[in-house]
Amino acid sequence: MTVMPRNDGRLTPDQVQSVTFPTARLGRRGYDEEHVRAFCAHVERELVTLLNEKAALWEEVQRLRQRIMGHSDDLPGYRPEDAHIQAVRVLSNAQQTADRYVADAQLYSRQLAEDARRRRDEVLSEAHRYAERVLEEAHGTATRAAEAALTGPVSLTAGERRELTAELAYLRTFSDVYRTHLRAYLEALLRNVEEWERAEKSSIAAARADLPFLPADRLP
């Protein structure tokens, strides 16, 4: 772990945010990256909270000290500066809440996209393997049929002819069945993709509907 030393050794949220962990050696399991990241985010939030609290306490001390030393003429109530600092604090808290919502939404969208990508790769490689298997089997059958035709006697008895005709018919059916299978499989995949896109579109529409405060000219 590397932390740039700064500010007489005090740890700041900025430092926690930019900390880097060395990658685990080959063949050894390192820390889970997600966990390390989540932990850093937690530490950062904690530090910000602590520092804000500290600043608030420090101000309170200053105010009380001034009052004791008799600097304050208007004894009860707030001075305008106090009111401004209060307002700054309220706005800062609101901004931090908004930042957290955006960060959470971004994380969620990243995870969704990663999952979708992984799923897509799986589906594609499965389809690939399936298509290869179909091709291989069809090829094998065709080769066997061709060999049988070549090595077979030149003049065929009626029985042999019947047998070959039957085999030919079988092969035709066989190829039809495989083609139907393959088509059904590919169509199912296509439906999957279409459903996915429909879901995406409707969720985007729903998300927009939930945001009535967006000015109309910002919608496409």
Partner 1 sequence: MDVQRLKESFARVAMHGDAVPLFFYSDLFLRHPETRDLFPVSMAAQRDRLVHALARIVADVDNLDDLAVYLKGLGRDHRKFGTVAEHYPAVGTSLLATLAHFNGPDWTPELAADWKAAYGLVAQVMIAAADEDAGTRPSFWDATVLAHELRRFDIATFRLATTEPLAYLPGQSVSVESPERPRIWRFYSMANAPRDDLTMDFHVRMIDGGALSMVLTRGLAAGARLRVGPPVGALTYAPGSPRDVLLIAGSTGLAPLKAIVEQISGLAAPRQVHLFFGARTADGLYDLADLEKMADGYPWLTVVPAVSDDPGFRGERGQLPEVVARHGSWRQHDAYVAGPTPMVEATVAQLTALGVPPSQIHTEDFGWSEP
Query: Binding residues for partner 1, per CB under 8 A?
Result: 6-7, 10, 12-15, 17, 44, 47-48, 51-52, 55, 58, 62, 84-85, 87-89, 91-92, 95-96, 98-99, 102-103, 106-107, 109-111, 113-114, 117, 120, 128, 200, 204, 217-218, 220
**Using alpha carbons only, what angle is made at residue 107 by residues 105 and 112, rounded to the nearest 5 degrees?**
95
Q: Which is nearer to partner 1, 14 or 176 (CB)?
A: 14
- Would you call 20 helix, strand, or coil by DSSP? strand
Cβ atoms 20, 2 nearer than 8 A: yes
To partner 1, the closest distance from the beta carbon of 41 in angstroms equals 11
Q: Rounded to the nearest 5°, which phi and psi values hold at 73? A: -80, -40
Q: Which is nearer to partner 1, 13 or 138 (CB)?
A: 13
- Would you call 2 helix, strand, or coil by DSSP? strand
Q: Which is nearer to partner 1, 47 or 145 (CB)?
A: 47
Cβ atoms 85, 52 nearer than 8 A: no
Return d(Cα 1, Cα 143) in angstroms, integer: 62
Q: Which is nearer to partner 1, 13 or 164 (CB)?
A: 13
Which residue type does 205 have? A
Q: Which is nearer to partner 1, 91 or 166 (CB)?
A: 91
Q: Which is nearer to partner 1, 27 or 215 (CB)?
A: 215
Tokens describing residue 188: 């199912």
Question: Nearest-CA neighbor of 178 among 147, 139, 146?
Answer: 139
Q: Is 105 exposed, middle or buried (0-12, 13-18, 19+ CB in 10 A)?
A: exposed
Tokens describing residue 68: 């004791």
